[in-house]
Amino acid sequence: MKKILIVDDDPNIVDYLTTLFEDNGFLTFAARNVKEAMELARKEIPDLITLDLEMPEEWGPRFYRKISQEKNLKNIPIIVISGFPGCTHAIGKAVACLQKPFDRDELLKIVKDNLK
Amino acid sequence: MPEGKFCNKKPVETEEDLKALLGDTGGKKYYEEMKSLDVDTALLWKTIGNTLKSRTKTWLEICAHCGMCADSCFLYLINDRDPKQVPAYKIQSTLGEIVKRKGKVDNDFMHMVMETAWAKCTCCNRCGMYCPHGIDMGVMFGYLRGLCYQQGFVPWELKIGAGMHRVYRAQMDVTGEEFVETFKWMVEEYEEDYPGLEVSVDKEDADILYTVNAREVKHYPEDLAEAAILFHLAGENWTVPSSGWEQTSLAMFAGDWAACKMQVEGVYSAMERLKPKRMVGTECGHAHRATVIEGPYWAGRSNGKPPVESIHYVEWLAEALRKGKLKIDPAKRIKKKVTLQDSCNYIRNHGLKDITREIISYIVEPGYFVELSPNREHNYCCGGGGGFNGIGIFRPQRNKALITKRDQLINSGAELVIAPCHNCWDAIRDLEEEYKIGIKWSFLKPLVISMVEIPEHMKPKE
Amino acid sequence: MFKKILFATSTTEASDHAARVAFNMAQSYDANICIFHVIGVPTRGFSQIVMDVKTKEKVEIDDEYIAWVKEEIMVYYSKQLEKAKSYDIKVAVGFPHREILREARNNSPDLIVMGGSTGDDEDSVYKKSMVGSTLQRVAKAAPCPLLVVNRPAASFWGGISKVVFGTDFSKASDAAFKFAVKLAKDLGCELNLFHALDISSLHMGRLLTQDEIESQIRESLRCIRGRYLDELKGIKDYSFDVWEGLPYIEIVKYAREKHADLIVMAHHTQKSSNEDARLGSNIEQVIVRAGCPVISINK
């Protein structure tokens, strides 16, 4: 089973995405901040990561910067899911950027496309 | 009726009153109170007795009602040749009528006079050139404004403007300190590009004493920098006065003669204090008219001249170019169709038409200059002269008046118009905003700076 | 380092990304933030009518109107202001660049934060009568460093820890270097020095061979060492590199590779007085394209 790491400080989003992904046959882990996210990523080595941008302590792009330095993690596809308009290119190498509220089918398609 | 709180016969003389009047947004209460303002007919007639002398009397009497002034007046032409816009009619129905009635006129009448004096005449003096008798209705309207002002029937913005000159000796609330500070700031900002750029304040016996328009200090300080840069590049020994630095006079537009006198006396006292060889003013038409042409008479100077030889900016600029103090890089001359706005106050009224054209010959590539039609002393007012640009209640009339200039510009085919006058510059900007004809406009200073050769020793070192 | 921030805003969506950075910095560095909004440009000669740049309406400026505008600003930024410890809201009338510079001169902020072009109407009459954009004019004359966040994408780093300093070995770059070093030391950042070798044939006159390019790269690296390395003692982490290409593109790419959250560069005192003043110089292109904020130093 493919693993997805969800990084978002909003528990509602985390619940929603967890349900969505698990219903579609994925294993999920959730992190509320960059520190947790790094720990989980190193431990579980997910196949895909969804990343929020503005979180209480460190912001999303810093997580991206950190995992880019790690051999095992640097190639994991990242989908940015954020509430901000204009966030499209905030993370250059993200495979996609979705603005909340996002279309679940669109998200699922992107996930499936990137996990072939 | 007792005089209003805002609208009355008293001039605005204190900062407090000025702020209060400004606070009456758009002059709403002011104009409301004006509806019940009494006319002091005794004062009006007495003043006329003291001030309306033989020239004006003769003019009012010998008008032959021939109508030759009609076609000379751009407001007559633009308002579909309305007979009531014929200059002779305009002045006869106001000043002429007041004299006939020996001052016994009422509030309604004075409202009509106010509108005529400020919305139907910009004091451009064009009619005076076409009248067979040389009757100058613009001059008479100037006089009439004084009578209106004395009675309190003056547009809100101009009551404020006259008040500004009384309180600040400037058309805006800009103090001498702010003027000096802003000038110094501008010099600092441009120092790196022009090493050695400086402004000296209150230097005695300089060659040039430079005076400005308060708007430059407040909103367009780049103009101050440009003036400094050009004086610097021309190697002039110049200075600015810490008081008496304002050349303009909204008081003149308002008809507040006492304030006019106070205003120019401030500038003359700076001249007397600092004894420059000459005074050079900024690119402004009415400022030159007020301080150099009319001012000496307000100040009671019997020779009709300011204490020191005073010239308009274009005179200085032409001289600097002529003498080679400023050299133009021929490759950078203007190579697009450009025309020139002949400003009433120093072209028709002070004969500088050839001076401005001399400047054109240096800064425009031959073949690219096109004249407006008509031009020189026959040019029409920009549409905003005499305070027209700033009076809110007469905005629609002013916007209509801009059409004359608009059409002149379109017909000339020019892409750029040079307008060495703040009022003309504003009027053209407004006409572009209103009618979007795609014209560009500019003062002389930025144009000259873009093409002037910088002497080797003045270039920044890298 | 940044105790007083002057944030110049249009109070519209166009300034939101600059706002994000400005408020985040104020919070991170415990700074006072002054939200500065220029209402409009004076029109109608000497009258009190101003064209409100936001609503595009002509309004009469009086105390009431100013109070209303300040209220609007407070509401617009209410979320951010909740977390802001020390702030002022100021409103001015006039040409934006001039009023921003005036405010900076009078109150000496440590940093001015601005967004890029607000994308105002191309045929705004006020644009026509001035040469150069607000940004260009402020960058040229600002008395303190100017931080520009031009694209929304550049506003999401949430802090400064990896700085790229772009140099062309000029005196102006030396001044920018001094600032970059101070910043890196004060905030404990990693500093990455970068020089772009301009190989466009316009610049070089012809296409260089690869060996020639790499020789020049080696020479430039030597230049960096000679000019800057001494000052880098005390900085926890630094690197330097030289890439060949079109300078502004290379800097943007380098910063992207390094995951930089700030670029520091010198503003060159080029007169912005030609008629078609568009964003032409390198720093202006970097500002427009960078994926992080850019600080421009002009003295």
**Around C124, how many Cα atoms within 13 Å sit in the side-chain half-sphere?**
21
| Averaged pLDDT of chain A | 92
Write the pLDDT tens digit of every residue in B193-251.
Answer: 899 999 999 999 999 999 999 999 998 999 999 999 999 999 999 999 999 999 999 99
CATH number at residue C178: 3.40.50.620
Q: Could you tell me if C167 and C291 lie in one domain? A: yes
Secondary structure letter of residue B447 according to DSSP: H
- 3 state DSSP class of B310: strand
Residues with Cβ within 8 Å of residue A100, at least 6 apart in sequence: A13, A81, A82, A83
Helix (H) or strand (E) segment spanning residue B107 = helix B107-119
CB contact under 8 A, B389 and C170: no
Residues with Cβ within 8 Å of residue C19, at least 6 apart in sequence: C7, C9, C77, C80, C115
Closest CA to B214 of B167, B160, B175: B175
Query: Are the CB atoms for C287 and C255 separated by under 8 Å?
Result: no
> d(Cα B223, Cα B186) in Å, to the nearest integer?
9
Query: Are the CB atoms for B400 and C14 separated by under 8 Å?
Result: no
Tokens encoding C210: 């690869």
| Helix-then-strand count for chain C, H and E | 11, 12
From chain B, pick out residues whose CB is under 8 angstroms from the CB of C92.
Answer: none
Residues with Cβ within 8 Å of residue A69, at least 6 apart in sequence: none
> d(Cα B339, Cα C77) in Å, to the nearest integer?
48
- 3 state DSSP class of C90: strand
Helix (H) or strand (E) segment spanning residue C49 = strand C49-52
CB contact under 8 A, B392 and C274: no
The dihedral over CA atoms of B167, B171, B175, B181, expressed in degrees to the nearest 10, equals: 180
Q: What is the CATH number of domain B327-451?
A: 3.40.50
Fold match between domain B39-154 and domain B327-451 = no
Closest CA to B336 of B223, B447, B445: B447
Write the pLDDT tens digit of every residue in C126-148.
Answer: 555 555 688 888 998 999 999 99
Write the pLDDT tens digit of every residue in C65-98.
Answer: 889 999 999 999 999 999 899 999 999 988 889 9
CB contact under 8 A, C152 and A84: yes
Secondary structure letter of residue B457 according to DSSP: G
Closest CA to C2 of C124, C100, C86: C86
From chain C, pick out residues whose CB is under 8 angstroms from the CB of A64.
Answer: 259
Range of the domain at C42: 4-152
Q: Please tell me if residue C108 touches chain B, with a CB cutoff of 8 Å.
A: no
Domain presence at residue C180:
yes
C203 vs C206, which has greater pLDDT? C206
> d(Cα C32, Cα B364) in Å, to the nearest integer?
51
Q: What is the fold, at CATH topology level, of the domain defined by A3-114?
A: Rossmann fold (3.40.50)
**Domain extent listing, chain B:** 39-154, 166-311, 327-451
Domain presence at residue C157:
no
- 3 state DSSP class of B419: coil
CB contact under 8 A, A84 and C162: no
Query: Are the CB atoms for B369 and B362 separated by under 8 Å?
Result: no
From chain C, pick out residues whose CB is under 8 angstroms from the CB of A89.
Answer: 151, 153, 291
CB contact under 8 A, C162 and A65: yes
Residues with Cβ within 8 Å of residue B19, at least 6 apart in sequence: none
Residue B58: phi, psi to the nearest 5? -60, -50
Quote the crossing angle between the two packed helices B137-151 and B107-119, to the nearest 10°. Answer: 140
Tell me what percent of the residues of chain C surpass a pLDDT of 90: 58
Query: Are the CB atoms for B460 and B434 separated by under 8 Å?
Result: no
Helix, strand, coil distribution of chain A in percent, nearest 5: 40, 20, 40
Mutation target vs B (from C41, C43, C47; most B CBs, 10 A cutoff): C47
Tokens encoding C157: 């780093």
Query: For the sheet containing A96-99, what is the strand order?
Result: A27-31, A3-7, A48-51, A78-82, A96-99
Closest CA to C195 of C212, C171, C178, C170: C170
- pLDDT for C123: 43
> d(Cα B444, Cα B334) in Å, to the nearest integer?
12
- pLDDT for C126: 53
- 3 state DSSP class of C4: strand
Residues with Cβ within 8 Å of residue B201, at least 6 apart in sequence: B180, B183, B239, B240, B241, B242
Residue in chain B nearest C105 by alpha carbon:
B185
Rg (CA), chain B: 22
Is B184 exposed, middle or buried (CB count within 10 Å of its CB: 0-12, 13-18, 19+)? middle
CB contact under 8 A, B185 and C46: no
Q: Could you tell me if C103 and C167 lie in one domain? A: no
**pLDDT exceeds cutoff 90 at C56:** no
The dihedral over CA atoms of C254, C256, C257, C263, expressed in degrees to the nearest 10, equals: 50
Domain boundary among C120, C152, C184: C152
CA C255, chain centre distance (Å): 16
CB contact under 8 A, A86 and C16: yes
In this prediction the ipTM stands at 0.84
Could you give the number of structural domains in chain C?
2
What does each C-alpha distance from B186 to B99, B154, B215, B222, B223 come to in angstroms?
52, 36, 15, 7, 9
> d(Cα C293, Cα C284) in Å, to the nearest integer?
12
Domain B39-154, CATH number (from 2.60.40, 2.60.120, 1.10.1740, 1.10.1060): 1.10.1060
CB contact under 8 A, C156 and A84: yes
Q: Could you tell me if C118 and C203 lie in one domain? A: no
**Around B129, how many Cα atoms within 13 Å sit in the side-chain half-sphere?**
17
Split at pLDDT 50, 70, 90, the class of C124 is low
- pLDDT for B124: 96
- pLDDT for C64: 86
- pLDDT for C275: 33
CB contact under 8 A, A59 and C17: no
- pLDDT for C106: 94
- pLDDT for B1: 62
Closest CA to C268 of C254, C255, C282, C287: C282
Write the pLDDT tens digit of every residue in B306-354.
Answer: 999 999 999 999 999 999 999 999 999 999 999 999 999 999 999 999 9
CB contact under 8 A, B221 and C49: no
Domain presence at residue C146:
yes
**Chain A closest-CA separation from residue C44 CA (Å):** 38
Question: Could you identify the residue written with the tokens 């407070």?
Answer: C74
- Give me the residues of C, 153-182, that contact B with CB < 8 A: 170-171
Secondary structure letter of residue C208 according to DSSP: P
**pLDDT exceeds cutoff 80 at C44:** no
* Longest CA–CA separation in chain C, Å: 69
Residue in chain A nearest C160 by alpha carbon:
A62
Split at pLDDT 50, 70, 90, the class of C122 is very low
CB pairs under 8 A between A and C: 50
Q: Please tell me if residue B27 touches chain C, with a CB cutoff of 8 Å.
A: no
Q: Please tell me if residue A56 touches chain C, with a CB cutoff of 8 Å.
A: no
Write the pLDDT tens digit of every residue in A17-54.
Answer: 999 999 999 999 999 999 999 999 999 999 999 999 98
Residue in chain B nearest C269 by alpha carbon:
B193
Q: Could you tell me if C134 and C15 lie in one domain? A: yes
- pLDDT for C276: 34
Q: Please tell me if residue C97 touches chain A, with a CB cutoff of 8 Å.
A: no
From chain B, pick out residues whose CB is under 8 angstroms from the CB of C171.
Answer: 462
Residues of chain B under the 70 pLDDT cut: 1-2, 462
Write the pLDDT tens digit of every residue in C218-249.
Answer: 999 999 999 999 999 888 899 999 999 989 99
**Chain B closest-CA separation from residue C162 CA (Å):** 31
Q: Please tell me if residue B396 touches chain C, with a CB cutoff of 8 Å.
A: no
Domain presence at residue C174:
yes
Start-to-end C-alpha separation, chain A? 12
- Give me the residues of C, 72-101, that contact B with CB < 8 A: 94-95, 98, 101
Domain presence at residue C16:
yes
Q: Please tell me if residue A87 touches chain C, with a CB cutoff of 8 Å.
A: yes
Q: Please tell me if residue A58 touches chain C, with a CB cutoff of 8 Å.
A: yes
C195 beta partners: C167, C242
Tokens encoding A1: 């089973």
Q: Please tell me if residue B285 touches chain C, with a CB cutoff of 8 Å.
A: no
CB contact under 8 A, B430 and C44: yes
**Around B65, how many Cα atoms within 13 Å sit in the side-chain half-sphere?**
7
Question: Could you identify the residue written with the tokens 């002529």?
Answer: B322
Q: Could you tell me if C24 and C67 lie in one domain? A: yes
**Chain C closest-CA separation from residue A23 CA (Å):** 31
**pLDDT exceeds cutoff 60 at C274:** no
